Amino acid sequence: MGNSQHAFRFCKVRGLRFNSAGTQQIHSQMCSPAPGLSRVMVLLAAALVSAPGAAWEGWQEEGVQYGQVGADVVLSCAGAHGRSGLEWRRDGAATLPEGSVLQNGDLVLPRAALAARGAYSCHDGKGQLLCSVSLRLGYLPGIPSVTCRASDYENFSCSWTPSLETFLPTRYVTTYRKLLTGDEKWSRAKNSLAGPCVQDPASPRTCTVHKCEFWSAYRLNVTEVNPLGASFRLLDVTMHAIIKPDPPEGLVVEPVPWAPRRLRVRWRYPASWPQEPHFQLKFRLQYRPVVHGSWSMVETVNLSEVITDAFSGLEHVVQVGARDFLDAGNWSEWSAEARATPGPGLTAMPGDKATTATDPERLAEEPSPAPNPEPIDRNDPKEKVAVLVSLGIFAFFLLAVGLGIAVLVWLRRRKPIKDETQKHNFLAAAVHMKALPKAQIL
């Protein structure tokens, strides 16, 4: 019994060489923002692809052999020298994959198919177990598909999907570097901004680059690695081109008292968007009656809006989206729906039970959280008085201007009449004097 246990060993893995020290060194170089990383990143990724026979740290499992589908695979039986009657079994049975060949104690699987995976064991002529190996077959990594998005103006995240199923354990090395402009190449060539794109264990196949510059461009490297080799994707991204805010939050829709065709809508900035004066959002609001299929849409920079053309007595569904104020990037996804019925009815909010719209507490006007004033309610009595006063002042101004113009015209017409009158009197006197006898005149 002791000799049997002593004789058992794992089969020798042929064709795979493990270099844990070298792998650790490469990994640290790719994931640390050391000077010169931007120059060697592409060369390093190319070297990974050119070494399909390299096995990576963490996959050096005793008794496990990896092989490529479609390639010849050789399983060696340790301790088989000088022994006769060797036998190979797969999963405990003597049935081996079609085409298998026994050469000097080794089992050769020509052009191994994926179905050839399994647990292989080597036995001597007496059936004693000499070694065992778990054969795992798969494919070289394909080039991953990568997309990037910035939910704010300081960070961007990238996600990727493999282009093919390799059937082998896989990991990803993600790095980035800033693309320097002409001036920056001279001033920052020795300290180029580069480092790891940090992967979140809670979100597989995603990574994030923090503290970016909004108008700068970056080159991302996503390298897919498995025990057979590696493949990488390079992607150039510009922050302002990939920005896409998260949907607005806290959407609330409620009817306006005594206004059967109006709905008041308000919302908040997404929590992921830092509110700074130079990086604001604009919004678009879409709404429709539940029974209708076509949407109406309004754009605004406020955090609230009054819908003035709702259908009285019909429940309406409302959503809101956001975009950078200067139209950089793309619109966000639509927010969760909120519903309400204009006029007497119920107000519905996401996650809350319906509440009566005519509740006295809801009739009080709530301050708007918007940075800009809320749209004017034309039904407000104070607003009507203000409009009447403005119209009165305007009418008085027009009347005063008209009276002034009339006085000027009257004065201009009065002066020529006076001059003609004086001229007429002078001529009449002259004629009268000429008609008098000379004696009278003297």
**Do residues 168 and 61 make contact, with C-beta atoms less than 8 angstroms apart?**
no
Mean pLDDT of the chain: 76
| DSSP-assigned letters across all residues of 355-422 | EETT-HHHHSPPPP-SSSPPPP-TT-HHHHHHHHHHHHHHHHHHHHHHHHHHHHHHHHHHHHHHHHHH
**Do residues 264 and 330 make contact, with C-beta atoms less than 8 angstroms apart?**
no
Backbone conformation region of residue 39, classed left if phi is above 0, alpha if psi is from -120 to 50, else beta = alpha
pLDDT tens digits for 99-144?
888 888 888 999 999 999 999 998 887 788 888 899 999 999 999 9
Q: The pTM is what?
A: 0.59
* Number of other residues whose CB lies within 10 A of the CB of residue 63: 13
Q: Is the pLDDT of residue 384 over 50?
A: yes
pLDDT tens digits for 235-263?
999 988 999 999 999 999 999 998 999 99
Beta bridge partners of 145: 161
Total residues found in the chain within this entry? 442
Residue indicated by tokens 């309610």: 377
Half-sphere exposure in the Cβ direction for 351 (13 Å, CA): 5
pLDDT tens digits for 320-347?
999 999 898 999 999 999 999 997 644 4
Q: Is the pLDDT of residue 355 over 60?
A: no
Helical ranges in 223-272 per DSSP H: 239-242
**Distance, CA of 169 to CA of 22 (rounded, Å):** 20
Angle at 203 between CA 199 and CA 206, to 5 degrees: 50
122 CA to centre of own chain: 55
Percent of the chain with pLDDT over 70: 67
